[in-house]
Amino acid sequence: MDNKNIVAADFRGRRWPAWISAAAAAALLSAILLAQGPALAGWFREAYAGLPLPLRDWLWDVRRIVPWVVQTTYLNPWTYAVVFGVFLLESLIPINRQQKPWSVGMVQDLLWAHTDAFFRSVWLPLYLVWLHGVYDRHLSFLTVHLFEGFSPAVRAVIAFLIFDALNYAHHVVRHRVEFLWRFHMIHHSQREMNLFTDTRVHIVEYLAAKTVIFIPMFMLQVNVAEVFWLSLAMHWYTGVYHANLKTNYGLLKYFMVTPQSHRIHHSVEPRHYEKNFGVFLTVWDRMFGTLYAKYDEYPEETGLDDDRLPIEESIAGISVFRTYIRQLIFPFRLLLAPKSRSAS
Ligand SMILES: [Zn+2]
Ligand SMILES: [Zn+2]
């Protein structure tokens, strides 16, 4: 094992002080502890009662949600049209020519995509209901009444900008806070980036991200149901820019995240580290100096140079499931393991 490489991949950005990691860990731990309390059911009921009616109708009835997911995803011809279209483009204009559309990495991510669909549609709404309850109970004094007089269209634009800025901000945080980086490493471990890589996101990271986004949404009294739908719709956009596609979308590249710009973010080359954190707009990267403004660089290799990462090597037998479980456990193993690197 080459220890030098591990140090580089293990934490390749600027490190934030340990107390930030400790505070993030403490916040997450208290959130989990709170969720375990016997008051949970009561909070759910109360929070549920306080939600806007359309969201309430949609959220609670899991019996409706599951068939809805099946209907809109698995039984939707558009899903297959998009998948087929991206596969076709991947064989016509690939960045990495060695990678077939039906790669081992893609099959692994396909499993992530299925668990993600279930998580997104069943557990996430319940988590948001709980979070809304906690907000109402303990944090409602933070509510800002600034946008109340604005028209719905203006509010929608503001909501979108805030949503995208928060997406950017928490992506930076996930790279800079060591505790969160352990989980985000899983997303970055993909060496054969594809349409489904966007769903390779650890559950802990996912919940932390949603908390960071939705609490400010509650504060600004943004219509949570709309933001929720928006994030579902954006799912396809973010999926496509993870695919093995040699395109920078022409003029759109100046203000939107593209397969070219996001590949820079996943690149193994040191000059690309800690660049292009944006999720939809590139304006935040531009504003905070994290934009990599060369639009014609298409790094072939992606992933992290860390021998400890469980990387999929086969789809034989149950290995896809075994690797998935190992990837889920990996951040905890790292966090519990004695530090393998010297203080740096
Ligand atoms: Zn990242
Ligand atoms: Zn990504």
Contacts of 169 (CB under 8 A, 6+ apart): 212, 284
Task: Identify the three-state secondary structure at position 147.
Answer: coil
Which-ligand-closest: CA of 276?
Answer: 1
39/275: higher pLDDT: 275
Which of 105, 155, 123 is closest to 310 using CA atoms?
105
173 alpha carbon – ligand 1 mean position (Å): 9
Where does residue 329 rank: exposed (0-12), middle (13-18), buried (19+ CB within 10 A)? exposed
289-317 pLDDT per residue, tens:
999 999 999 999 999 988 899 999 888 87
Ligand 1: centre distance to CA 249 (Å): 21
| Tokens standing for residue 151 | 């028209």
pLDDT (tens digit, 9 = 90+) per residue, 69-119?
A: 777 778 888 889 999 999 999 999 999 999 988 899 999 999 999 888 878
Domain boundaries, the chain: 13-336
Q: What is the mean pLDDT of residues 29-47?
A: 59
pTM (predicted TM-score): 0.79
**Cα-based distances in Å from 343 to 11, 208, 335:** 12, 27, 16
Confidence of residue 12 (pLDDT cuts 50, 70, 90): low
Ligand nearest to the CA of 290: 1
By percentage, how much of the chain surpasses pLDDT 70? Answer: 78
Mean pLDDT of 15-33: 67
- Cα 185 to averaged position of ligand 1 atoms, centre (Å): 8
The residue count for the chain: 344
Q: Phi and psi for 246 in degrees, rounded to 5?
A: -90, 80
From the CA of 201, the nearest ligand is 2
DSSP string, 229-289: HHHHHHHHHHHHTTSS-----GGGGGTB--HHHHHHHHBSSGGGTT----SSBSHHHHHTT
Q: Is the pLDDT of residue 3 over 60?
A: no
Q: Which ligand lies nearest to the CA atom of residue 172 in the structure? A: 1
pLDDT for 289: 95
